[in-house]
Amino acid sequence: MTDSKEMILEVRDLCKEYPSFRLENVTFSVPKGSITGFIGRNGAGKTTTIKSVLNLVHKKSGEIRFFGLDLDSHEKEIKERIGYAGGAIDYYKKKRIRDLIAVTKRFYEHWDDEACRKFMNAFELSEEKMPSELSEGMKVKLNLVLALSHGAEFLILDEPTSGLDPISREELLDVFEALRKTGVSILFSTHITSDLDKCADRIVYIKEGRILASDAMDRYLSDCKAAGYGETLEEVMLHFEKKEFSFGAPESTEQPL
């Protein structure tokens, strides 16, 4: 078991209730230096969990700690050290990127202009453009630039690869891998199992608002294989999630000849 001091994120018994959906005692952790894939089918509770973790939705109960600090009492300090991207950038789409950066940087004590320029160049982004002029993949990269320029140690990404073409997805996963090598930890949600095959070393699997697994990827897959659930993540997911559909087709009224 990893010591709690090495945990970037610890979520314990997180509960959140909506009229038709609820998170039940969601518990998982993200170790430092890992790329953790947060997987589950659409509507399983990935976004609700991430929004709860970021204090964007009001949790019913539970404990959330970043870097060993409680979110409720250290919100400002924690936000200085993390970055969030909900897929493509979806705010101030009609403002120039230059203005967005100029405003955003004032809030971060450790904003690094040099790093910002470096990432803008690496991602081939122009400050003169507006987010509305960017492709979906470029919007995700802009979000990453904003997060990385303030030296975020931990990135939380909600379905960053959804809607991207295969090349952009591949590029983005390469970026994750490169970031891990610089010491950045990543939690990213997805319903695309091949994203995790490519770069994740840990998995948190959520189904219908409950955590099914929170483990090292290799160990989880070998356990599933031994239990006969499947050999790949896709097979495991199909084992747990696949439903048989019956639409009540009327019985044939034809009489045999």
Partner 1 sequence: MSNLLHKELKLAVSPLSWFFLAAAVMTLIPGYPILLGSFFVCLGLFQTFQTFREANDILYTTLLPIRKRDAVRAKFLTVLFFEGLSFLFMSVFTVLRMTVLSSASPYVTNFLMNPNPVYLAFVLLVFLSFNVVFVGGFFKTAYKIGKPFILFIIIAMLLVAVSESLHHIPGLEFLHTPSGEKLGLQFAVLGAAAVLFIGGTFLSEKASEKRFESIDL
What residue ranges bind partner 1 (CB under 8 A)?
Answer: 51, 54-58, 75-77, 79-80, 84, 90-95, 99-100, 102-104, 106-108
| Residue nearer to partner 1 on the CB measure, 159 or 195 | 159
Can you say whether the dihedral through the CA atoms of 46, 51, 54, 55 is positive or negative? negative
Answer yes or no: are the C-beta atoms of 192 and 39 closer than 8 Å.
no
Identity of residue 85: A
Instruction: Give backbone dihedrals phi and psi of 122, rounded to 5 degrees, phi first.
Output: -60, -35
Identity of residue 235: E
Q: How far is the CB of 3 from partner 1 (least distance, A)?
A: 27
- As a whole number of angstroms, the distance between CA 45 and CA 79 comes to 22
| Residue nearer to partner 1 on the CB measure, 32 or 51 | 51
Q: How far is the CB of 55 from partner 1 (least distance, A)?
A: 6
Q: How far is the CB of 16 from partner 1 (least distance, A)?
A: 9
| Residue nearer to partner 1 on the CB measure, 76 or 242 | 76
Token pair recorded at residue 198: 């490519």
Q: How far is the CB of 20 from partner 1 (least distance, A)?
A: 14
Q: How far is the CB of 59 from partner 1 (least distance, A)?
A: 10
Question: Residue 133: which residues within 8 A CB-CB, separation 6 or more?
Answer: none
| Residue nearer to partner 1 on the CB measure, 84 or 220 | 84
Q: Residue 138 half-sphere exposure, CB side, CA atoms within 13 Å?
A: 16
Helix 233-241 vs helix 217-227: angle between axes, to the nearest 10 degrees?
Answer: 60
Q: How far is the CB of 60 from partner 1 (least distance, A)?
A: 11
| Residue nearer to partner 1 on the CB measure, 104 or 162 | 104
Only one residue has tokens 């969990």, namely: 49
| Residue nearer to partner 1 on the CB measure, 40 or 86 | 86
Cβ-in-10-Å burial (0-12, 13-18, 19+) of 123 comes to: middle
| Residue nearer to partner 1 on the CB measure, 102 or 227 | 102
- As a whole number of angstroms, the distance between CA 130 and CA 149 comes to 18
Closest to 92 measured CA to CA, from 100, 84, 83, 103: 100
Q: How far is the CB of 175 from partner 1 (least distance, A)?
A: 20
